[in-house]
Amino acid sequence: MSRKQYAVIGLGRFGTSIARKLHEAGQEVLGIDLDEVRVEDAEPYITHGLIADSTDEKALTSIGITNFDCVIVAIGDDIQASILTVMLLKNLGMKKIIAKAVGKRHGQVLEAIGTSWIIYPERDMGERVANQLLSPNMLNYIELSKDYNIEEIMIPSRMAGKNLRELDIRAKYNVSVIAILRDGEIIVSPSPDELLQIEDILVTIGNRKDLAKFSNLE
Ligand code: ADP
């Protein structure tokens, strides 16, 4: 993966965990916070730290914020500061802005001013937990659209020892298998003759309802 430059504004729990994960993946991460202690605490997990107020246009221009590939505005409680920051970034011409919203109204304003991706951490996590409870074999998922997902689904043990051709998953469940995850390895576009093994995880694509049925098989 190419090395990209990210700026994370607001080093609370949410901002710091994004910064840390990106940094661990070898990306360049500038962490910004008003609070000196927050910057110090995050320092081991970021490439550079900066104490600054993101609602101060001069502070943003002096660090060349528009040269970053992506800015993540992880300010939560101070809704005004979050909105002002996104507005300033937009005015400076920043294209990729991700922002955390603490509630619906906050999210609506962020959307109206052109935030590329709005994250509702608590709502989204709640949905993930509910989905996990509803489909215990589903380990991870990506929402492709309103109706379609990519999901990682643990196979029921009775499918082990059979190949994809005889299981005929596409015809029976209307779900396509695009890869198999096995012992940390990935088998992309598996052959129909591939024998499934116990604890295989299928990476599947399909309609959410069909995937829900498939991931609930015993
Ligand atoms: P979390 O719930 O993820 O812990 P918080 O809302 O507690 O998030 O943390 C947001 C962080 O954003 C705080 O560390 C706060 O100091 C920082 N912050 C708030 N306003 C600004 C601002 N204008 N400029 C930079 N950092 C800010």
- CA separation for the pair 56, 62 (Å, rounded): 10
* Start-to-end C-alpha separation, the chain: 38
pLDDT of residue 136: 80
Ordered by where they begin, the domains of the chain are 5-123 (3.40.50.720), 135-214 (3.30.70.1450)
pLDDT, average across residues 168-195:
95
pLDDT of residue 133: 86
Residue 22 pLDDT level (bands cut at 50, 70, 90):
very high
Atom of ligand 1 nearest to the CA of 76: 6
Q: Which residue has the higher pLDDT, 76 or 48?
A: 48
- CA separation for the pair 28, 30 (Å, rounded): 7
pLDDT of residue 1: 64
Angle at 50 between CA 87 and CA 70, to 5 degrees: 45
Q: Which stretch of 72-76, 130-134, 211-215 has the lowest confidence by average pLDDT?
A: 130-134
pLDDT in tens, 42-67: 999 999 999 999 999 999 999 999 99
ipTM of the complex: 0.96
DSSP state of 23: H
pLDDT of residue 204: 96
- CA separation for the pair 31, 47 (Å, rounded): 8
CA of residue 113 to ligand 1 center, whole Å: 20
- Ligand 1 atom 7 nearest Cα: 12
Please report, rounded to a whole number, the percentage of residues in the chain having pLDDT higher than 90.
Answer: 88
pLDDT of residue 96: 96
pLDDT, average across residues 11-40:
97
CA of residue 85 to ligand 1 center, whole Å: 12
Contact 73, 10 (CB under 8 A): yes
pLDDT in tens, 120-140: 999 999 988 998 888 888 888
